[in-house]
Amino acid sequence: MINAVSTSSREAAEKKIYLSMDGLPLSVDLHWPFHASTSGSDWSVLHGTIRLENSNGLHALVAVNLSATIREVMPSLEPKDAEAPVINALRKEVDRKQVEFVKSAKLLPIYFSSRHYNFKQNRWIFEKASDEQIVTFLERKIYWQSRLIGGEVWTADATDAQYLDTTTQHLSKAAGELAKQGLVRMERAYATATDKLMSQSARFEVDWTRALENLEKKYAFERG
């Protein structure tokens, strides 16, 4: 019989770390609801903050500008329908190196438009991850969430599945492969990092440093 997951562990698992494809751990705070743009355009706007975890306060204040075209394909602009694609649109901009993390209150517009949606297939499109990339993604996610938050990590996350263009079932299966390697312990789709995974901190830190350096180089070049 499967033991119930403890309430405290569940609460920790519900605190989300969102991984970029390059290995940056992000947290996202969205200030609902969407509101009409004050510029007179037909955009709907949602403000929020993306925080680069494991940094000394680096963050990005963002204004998500939702186009009228995308608004038409969404069931509603409530969090239950809009949160996942909004977070993934922000995560995609980080992966595209379009988000600069700073310590100031600089506001960055993020355009959430038709390039995030496949109208022929009627579905969101962000990344197309291979099986190898999915395993690496889960390793990083479990490591960073275990280190920064603790508790068990929900591996069958629908927002992650949408971002990686896979299914929650496939994510759970990939997490099971990590369990076979002794990197995690699984209870249903909840993963607990083992010492074997946490002992590989140097690898995850190198990925973090390299991803941030590449991002900073881009903005240093643009500033001249």
Q: What is the DSSP string of 106-136?
A: -EEEEEE-GGGEETTTTEE------HHHHHH
Q: Is 191 in a helix, a strand, or coil? A: strand
Is the pLDDT at 125 greater than 60? The verdict is yes
Handedness of CA 151, 83, 141, 155 (dihedral sign): positive
List CB contacts of 14: < 8 A, sequence separation 6 or more.
154
Half-sphere exposure of 194 (CA within 13 A, CB side): 11
| pTM of the complete model | 0.89
Ordered structural domains, the chain, with CATH: 7-14+129-202 (1.10.10), 22-124 (no CATH)
Cα–Cα distance measured from residue 146 to residue 44, given in angstroms and rounded to the nearest whole number: 35
Cα–Cα distance measured from residue 13 to residue 95, given in angstroms and rounded to the nearest whole number: 24
| pLDDT class of 2 with cuts at 50, 70, 90 | very low
Q: Is 61 in a helix, a strand, or coil? A: strand
pLDDT, mean of residues 116-131: 94
pLDDT, mean of residues 67-74: 94
**The residue to which tokens 């993963």 are assigned:** 191
Q: Provide the β-strand partners of residue 102.
A: 59
Using a pLDDT cut of 70, give the percent of the chain over it. Answer: 91
**The residue to which tokens 């705070």 are assigned:** 29
Q: What are phi and psi of 61, to 5 degrees?
A: -85, 125
pLDDT at position 30: 97
pLDDT, mean of residues 180-188: 97
Paired sense of beta strands 107-112 and 59-66, if any: parallel
pLDDT at position 40: 65
Which structure tokens are listed for 3?
């033991």
pLDDT at position 224: 60
pLDDT, mean of residues 178-190: 97
